[in-house]
Amino acid sequence: MFALIFAGGLACNGQKRSTKDPQALIYNLGSEPDTLNRLTATDVYENRINGFIFDSLIERDNENLEFKPKLATKWEISDDKLTYTFYLRDDVKWHDGKPFTADDVVYTFERIMDPKVDTPHLRVYYSDIKKVEKLADNAVRFTYSIPYFKALEFVGGIPIVPKHIYDDGKDFNNHPANRAPIGTGPYKFKEWKTGQRIILEANPDYWDKSKPPYLKSIQFKIITDEEAAFQALKKGDLDIGSLTPSRWVKQANTPEFNEKFAKHDYYTPGYRYIGWNLRRPYFQDKRVRQALTRLVNRQAVVEKLEYGFGKLTTGPFWIFGYEYNKDLPVIPYDPAAAKKLLDEAGWVDSDGDGIRDKDGVKFEFTFLIPSGAEFYKNLASIMKKDFEAAGIAMNLRVMEWAAFVNQINSRDYDATSLGWSFGLDEDPYQLWHSSQVEKGSNSVGFKNAEADQIMEKARQVFDKEERTKLYHRFHEIVYDEQPYTFLYSGPALVARDKRFQNVKVYPMGLDILEWRVQP
């Protein structure tokens, strides 16, 4: 599943630490979460917090990335890849003491598929399941109507919610438990003070005795200002934080900083992009979108804003993934070619005011960005200069994160820049299929019949080589259409307090659940 990236990760609001307990991890967020409902959560902040509160039926091994049991002790897959049966542990309880059973799994699936529940981002992965059956309190079976190559990942990773909490007649989307979640995981929800903090505490009754919660609590603090976050990190008010490339190279490269903090850099699947709302008259012609990509000096963005940390990308897959078509060259920064494409598309300055127009419409649009992230403001500054030189007027609008996301979800914007974070073995359906245009993650409104057919077919292909060919062709289509200007994939740059031990960098990043502090 794809999740929105705000500005690269962790942040802090510079508040004084609420505890000096060395067994507490202070771990901040760059924005206030909208919800902690596992099913309706869509961004990385919400999913990050929920990852400590909830468990899934299966999980990937940190080392080899193969699936292994979690809430399920084992599973069976039919030869035709249509049925998946899971046998559940019988010693798991929700944080309020109620037993976890197959009823919770069935109920969760029913809510995902309920059109009244805000789960379009999830529903696309479960839409081909024709039934989910409780075989016993500790056994549940999923039956597909057609095969899906990621079926085990999604039925095994279904974000289970407690039936006894939510099945009370209240609005699921706005349920009180969305701000006080009950899970089965190693940490229990304790407190959410709006605009300040969210606190989780260790679950002393956690069922997995092989991996207990080593830290007493995990505390998330909320801010929208990156500079305040870094200053809080330096002062010791924060134990872990993401660094911008400039801070990594400069402020975090002093003897004083390196004495207190260890630094980690690693790539995980994801990319940054500029999205053009294809509903707007300026962006409906692919020649215009091709021109806009040629007006964005992406190499300069990586060098000036990211200090060289980042690899330019050309399409909808992770640059290090097998799905990525490496035969497609990076579209160059070429203002002259861009102007020619704009002329061909009929966008010319007919009245001599310096702004291109067509059919009485001025080429003037608003670039919407979230507040608090230096990167987006700097990116907009680079874009604005080159766009204006090409006869395009670009206005900037900055919004607080929750309002920003609402604007994107309502499709009420011209253009924006964000990032996507995702897992292994990509399925682009959530972002690019035409069925996701109105209510889904395809907010730019991309529609292409051949692309739809490829995505639908690829979902049923288990042979990796055959699926790779399909996705390479899909990459070619998106590359030609340019609904996004794909920017780059960048590494996570993380600093953490050296008092934490047993810290390893795995293929998919850090696992805080393993961290310990010596008494």
DSSP symbols for 268-298: -SEEEEEEE-TTSGGGSSHHHHHHHHHHS-H
Superfamily of the domain at 270-489: Dipeptide-binding Protein; Domain 3 (3.10.105.10)
Extract the tokens encoding 317. 């897959």
For the question of whether the overall pTM of this predicted structure is more than 0.85, the answer is yes
- The answer to whether residues 34 and 405 touch, using CB atoms and an 8 Å cutoff, is yes
DSSP letter (8 states) at residue 304: I
Q: How far is CA 222 from the centre of its chain?
A: 18
State whether residue 68 is helix, strand or coil: strand
H/E run at residue 228: helix 226-235
Output the pLDDT for position 13. Answer: 33
Q: List pLDDT tens digits, range 175-222.
A: 999 999 999 999 999 999 999 999 999 999 999 999 999 999 999 998
In words, the CATH class of domain 3-52+185-267+493-514 is: alpha beta
Distance CA 257, CA 209 (A): 36
Distance CA 292, CA 387 (A): 8
Distance CA 63, CA 504 (A): 10
Output the pLDDT for position 5. Answer: 60
Extract the tokens encoding 96. 């309020």
Planar angle of CA 161, 163, 166, nearest 5 degrees: 85
Output the pLDDT for position 227. Answer: 87
Helix residue ranges per DSSP H, 69-186: 102-113, 120-123, 151-156, 163-166
Residue type, 439: K
Superfamily of the domain at 58-166: Dipeptide-binding Protein; Domain 1 (3.90.76.10)
- The answer to whether residues 105 and 142 touch, using CB atoms and an 8 Å cutoff, is no
Extract the tokens encoding 126. 């479960």
Q: Please give the backbone phi and psi of residue 139, each rounded to the nearest 5 degrees, phi first.
A: -145, 135
Planar angle of CA 25, 30, 36, nearest 5 degrees: 75
Output the pLDDT for position 111. Answer: 98
The CA radius of gyration of the chain, in Å to the nearest whole number, is 24
Output the pLDDT for position 17. Answer: 41
Domain boundaries defined on the chain: 3-52+185-267+493-514, 58-166, 270-489
Q: How far is residue 51 from each of residues 69, 154, 181, 195, measured CA to CA in Å?
A: 16, 15, 12, 21
Extract the tokens encoding 440. 């889904």
Output the pLDDT for position 3. Answer: 62
Q: Which parts of the chain register pLDDT below 50?
A: 7-19
If we measure between CA atoms, which residue out of 150, 156, 161 comes closest to residue 103? Answer: 161
Distance CA 25, CA 17 (A): 10
- The answer to whether residues 114 and 426 touch, using CB atoms and an 8 Å cutoff, is no
DSSP letter (8 states) at residue 71: S
Helix residue ranges per DSSP H, 315-448: 335-344, 374-389, 401-409, 429-432
Q: Please give the backbone phi and psi of residue 453, each rounded to the nearest 5 degrees, phi first.
A: -65, -40
Distance CA 156, CA 125 (A): 12
What's 19-57 look like in SS3? CCCCCEEEECECCCCCCCCCCCCCEHHHHHHHHHHCCCC
Q: Name beta bridge partners: 29.
A: 222
Residue type, 315: G
Output the pLDDT for position 14. Answer: 33
Would you put residue 374 in left (φ > 0), alpha (ψ -120 to 50) or beta? alpha
Output the pLDDT for position 28. Answer: 82
Cβ-proximal residues to 191 (8 Å cutoff; 6+ apart), any chain = 197, 198, 199
- For residues 81-116, b (16+ Cβ closer than 10 Å) or e, as one string? bbbbbbbbbeebebbeeeebbbbbbbbbbebbeeee
Distance CA 215, CA 226 (A): 26
Q: How far is CA 458 from the centre of its chain?
A: 22
Output the pLDDT for position 12. Answer: 34
* β-strand pairing of 364-370 with 393-399: parallel
